[in-house]
Amino acid sequence: MTHKIIVALDFADAASALALVERFDPALCRLKVGKELFTVAGPELVRALVARGFEVFLDLKFHDIPNTVAAACRAAAGLGVWMLNVHASGGRRMMTAAQQALVDMPQRPLLIAVTVLTSMSAEDLIEVGVSDAPADQVLRLARLSQACKLDGVVCSAQEAAMLRADLGGDFRLVTPGIRPAGLDAGDQRRVMAPAEALRAGATDLVIGRPITTAADPLAALRQIQSDIQNT
Ligand SMILES: O=c1ccn([C@@H]2O[C@H](COP(=O)(O)O)[C@@H](O)[C@H]2O)c(=O)[nH]1
């Protein structure tokens, strides 16, 4: 079965995003709408992607007081998205409020939590007061997310094997920071190649620039899918 890569639509306007989406098929990939595109194109674009049959991951990483995050999650779920997320560092009460806000929805989206951003290194964590290694902080926040009954976490594929062993099989490990061999990591710091990430236990690969900035994005997507075919 083809692994449905989640393509990150990090574009400055709806027209650019839709020009790319025109070439993709919901049977081939899922789509991620993040802060840049949502800020400029809003719920209307999300609804349009859902109406075209795509499973949409709304990557707004909610991080606020529990009441505000719970209401934001309900609003996001109302757009018909497949998955949405919060920051695990918002804590137990915030994540539980988010989970509870969605629990009785007829078409409940998956709810996951960001552990440590894949752009962060050990040095970055120290600067914000976290002296533990990234992997230890990821494990702490992933355990908390699971205790709050979330469906999974966002982590680096570098932590996937550890999390899979600790948290069991029924927990999504959604991994950005995916870079096919030879491609520029850019601002990402904890990266891994696609096939390696799946072998480590990642359930969902999030890939942006390696696809969206390629001369032929559809060919780039198909090439990655072919590379991971037998993993
Ligand atoms: O820890 C995180 C959480 C989210 N992201 C998002 O994933 C994509 C990655 O894009 P690339 O171009 O493949 O680097 C992007 O939309 C981020 O906002 C992440 O990278 N790390």
User: What pLDDT digit, counting tens, does each position of 133-180 carry?
Assistant: 999 999 999 999 999 999 999 999 999 999 999 999 999 999 999 999
Which residues have a catalytic role annotated? 59, 61, 64
Domains and CATH numbers, the chain: 5-230 (3.20.20.70)
Q: Is 149 annotated as a binding residue?
A: no
Percent of the chain with pLDDT over 90: 98
Cβ of 61 closer than 6 Å to ligand 1, yes or no, is no
Q: Which residue has the tokens 């992607």?
A: 49
Determine the atom of ligand 1 nearest the C-alpha atom of 8.
Answer: 16
Cβ of 201 closer than 6 Å to ligand 1, yes or no, is no
The preferred substitution site among 38, 206, 211, 213 for testing ligand 1, maximizing ligand atoms within 8 Å of CB, is 206
Q: Counting Cβ atoms within 10 Å, is residue 106 exposed (0-12), middle (13-18) or buried (19+)?
A: exposed
Predicted complex ipTM: 0.99
Taking the whole predicted model, whether its pTM rises above 0.95 is answered as yes
